[in-house]
Structure 1
Amino acid sequence: MSSSIVQLADLGPITQLRAGRLPRRLVQLYVGLFLYGASLALMVRGDIGLAPWDVLHSGFIRHVPITLGQAVVLFSFVVLVLWIPLREKPGIATISNAIVVGLSADLTLAVLDAPHAMAARVALMVGGIVLCGLATALYIGAQLGRGPRDGLMTGLARRTGLSIRLVRTALEVAVVVIGLLLGGTLGVGTVAYALAIGPIAQWMMPWFLVDLGPLGRVGGIPEADPELLR
């Protein structure tokens, strides 16, 4: 592999901030996180099925008087507690993800009405999935750390020795089952998201992956690895 290939770097939080091009990376991070929350809201308004973790969130709020965005924030911090025994390295994106995505989701839901026409609902679902792929490429490409759920996935894979794909599948099946038991929204959108989000994010990643130079290529993760894309 050529050393000139841009890679996802596996850096600690201080090194992430010292790696250079910080203003551009911060803007890219927060744009990506805001769009991620907006993409969640699009799928909610489409009402044809949600992403796996959002099946859990939507089921949970049926029993607790909080908004969907607040549930996203709450579960993000619950997941972060699980990072402790896994010894995952947080970054500025980790805490930012836990807060900004939920706030953005609630803001978008507040201004976006649910359509009645099926064509419009399908368009919202498809738009939400594509927008989520773009948002994923933006925030991961900023190289400022993993989100809470991504870190849980990679931490479990590292600790168990299982593949990231297997761990991710097991986690998402588990949260979907729990979400369904709570009354969460499962549908064709859930399947479409599971099949499409990785390829879309991987396709878009080269557009937004910030090159950190030699620092990012020492112990980095090749950007072509689809298992690291949600």
Structure 2
Amino acid sequence: MSTTPLADLGPIAQAPCRPVAPPPRPGLYAGLWLYGVSLALMVLGAIGLAPWDVLHSGVTEHVPISLGQAVIVFSFVVLLLWIPLREKPGLGTVSNALVVGIAADATLAMFDAPASMLARIPLMVGGIVLCGFATALYIGAQPGRGPRDGLMTGLARRTGLSIRLVRTGIEITVVLIGLALGGTLGLGTVAYALTIGPIAQWMMPWFLVDLAPAPGVAPDRSLNCPAEPA
């Protein structure tokens, strides 16, 4: 199991750094797109939305925007919560704010929700597992966390609590706010809130990459880039 820590790097500090292996960009964008697909799978399953989407769906009850558009809007709202946590935005932050919502709307436009419960249950379960996989994939690339996961990792770093505990607490809080706005709660919501943290934490070491100075850049402790391995 990898012991590589999550780097606390902003966009300027990231510039001279590069991953040792594998390259982060494919992992970043594949993870973000799959994250959006996973949210859409739970919508199509219609057994309960992911906690953040309970909030997003509640907002769409009052504002004429799509689910994906609500995801994008709230991504930038959540970034305001980064300020007291001193989280540093990066390429992944801006990419997350845009790609996830686009992927969710694109997937929903391509497929219709099945009527059979036998088809809907696998969509719900698959959406949860895929979201945990996608979270580990794009966070592990270390180009900067997305707005919601930056909130998660920021709280974990500042409080010393595990990612599993922090993520679960955030999901439960978001569900309560979403319900107050008229969002939909279901079995899938509860299953997601209780399992996404453990799944993401379990898979994270598979994709977490080491960072090293880019070629021609001398190791610099102030950049938090480790020396190139021998």
Q: Would the alpha carbon gap of residues 201 and 157 (structure 1) be closer, same or farther in structure 2, given more than 3 Å must change?
A: closer
Corresponding position: 1:16 with 2:14: yes
In 2, the alpha carbon distance for the partners of 1:41 and 1:112 equals 9
In 2, the alpha carbon distance for the partners of 1:153 and 1:141 equals 14
Q: What are the Cα deviations for residues 67-99 of structure 1, in whole angstroms up to 9, with x where unaligned?
A: 000000000101112323433211111111111
What amino acid sits opposite 1:163 in the alignment? L
Q: Which runs of 5+ in 1 are unaligned?
A: 221-230
Q: Would the alpha carbon gap of residues 163 and 53 (structure 1) be closer, same or farther in structure 2, given more than 3 Å must change?
A: same
Partner in structure 2 of residue 90 of structure 1: 89
Give, in angstroms, the shift of residue 177 of structure 1: 1.3
Q: What are the Cα deviations for residues 33-85 of structure 1, in whole angstroms up to 9, with x where unaligned?
A: 00000000000010111121111001110111000000000001011123234
In 1, the alpha carbon distance for the partners of 2:115 and 2:178 equals 25
- Off by >3 Å, runs of 4+ in structure 1: 153-159, 161-171, 217-220
Q: Percent identity?
A: 72
Contact 1:52–1:176, Cα closer than 8 Å, also in 2: yes
In 1, the alpha carbon distance for the partners of 2:156 and 2:91 equals 22
In 1, the alpha carbon distance for the partners of 2:194 and 2:176 equals 18
Contact 1:16–1:143, Cα closer than 8 Å, also in 2: no
What amino acid sits opposite 2:69 in the alignment? Q
User: What SS is found at the alignment partner of 2:23?
Assistant: helix
Q: Which runs of 5+ in 2 are unaligned?
A: 214-218, 226-230
What amino acid sits opposite 1:150 in the alignment? D
What amino acid sits opposite 2:16 in the alignment? R
Corresponding position: 1:142 with 2:141: yes
Q: Would the alpha carbon gap of residues 173 and 201 (structure 1) be closer, same or farther in structure 2, given more than 3 Å must change?
A: closer
In 2, the alpha carbon distance for the partners of 1:170 and 1:123 equals 25
Give, in angstroms, the shift of residue 213 of structure 1: 4.7
Q: What are the Cα deviations for residues 129-151 of structure 1, in whole angstroms up to 9, with x where unaligned?
A: 11111111110010111111122
Q: Would the alpha carbon gap of residues 203 and 25 (structure 1) be closer, same or farther in structure 2, given more than 3 Å must change?
A: same
In 2, the alpha carbon distance for the partners of 1:78 and 1:134 equals 25
Corresponding position: 1:46 with 2:45: yes
In 1, the alpha carbon distance for the partners of 2:131 and 2:202 equals 13
Equivalences for residues 97-108 of structure 1 within 5 A: 97-108=96-107
Contact 1:61–1:67, Cα closer than 8 Å, also in 2: yes
In 2, the alpha carbon distance for the partners of 1:200 and 1:162 equals 19
Partner in structure 2 of residue 175 of structure 1: 174
In 2, the alpha carbon distance for the partners of 1:158 and 1:202 equals 14
Give, in angstroms, the shift of residue 204 of structure 1: 2.4
In 2, the alpha carbon distance for the partners of 1:130 and 1:158 equals 25
In 1, the alpha carbon distance for the partners of 2:7 and 2:117 equals 42
Q: Would the alpha carbon gap of residues 138 and 49 (structure 1) be closer, same or farther in structure 2, given more than 3 Å must change?
A: same
Q: Would the alpha carbon gap of residues 8 and 152 (structure 1) be closer, same or farther in structure 2, given more than 3 Å must change?
A: closer
Aligned residue pair count:
216
Query: TM-score scaled by structure 1?
Result: 0.83
In 2, the alpha carbon distance for the partners of 1:162 and 1:201 equals 17
Q: Would the alpha carbon gap of residues 90 and 32 (structure 1) be closer, same or farther in structure 2, given more than 3 Å must change?
A: same
In 1, the alpha carbon distance for the partners of 2:17 and 2:160 equals 30
User: What SS is found at the alignment partner of 2:62?
Assistant: coil
Query: TM-score scaled by structure 2?
Result: 0.83
Equivalences for residues 1-230 of structure 1 within 5 A: 5-21=3-19, 24-156=23-155, 161=159, 163=161, 167-213=166-212
In 2, the alpha carbon distance for the partners of 1:219 and 1:17 equals 12
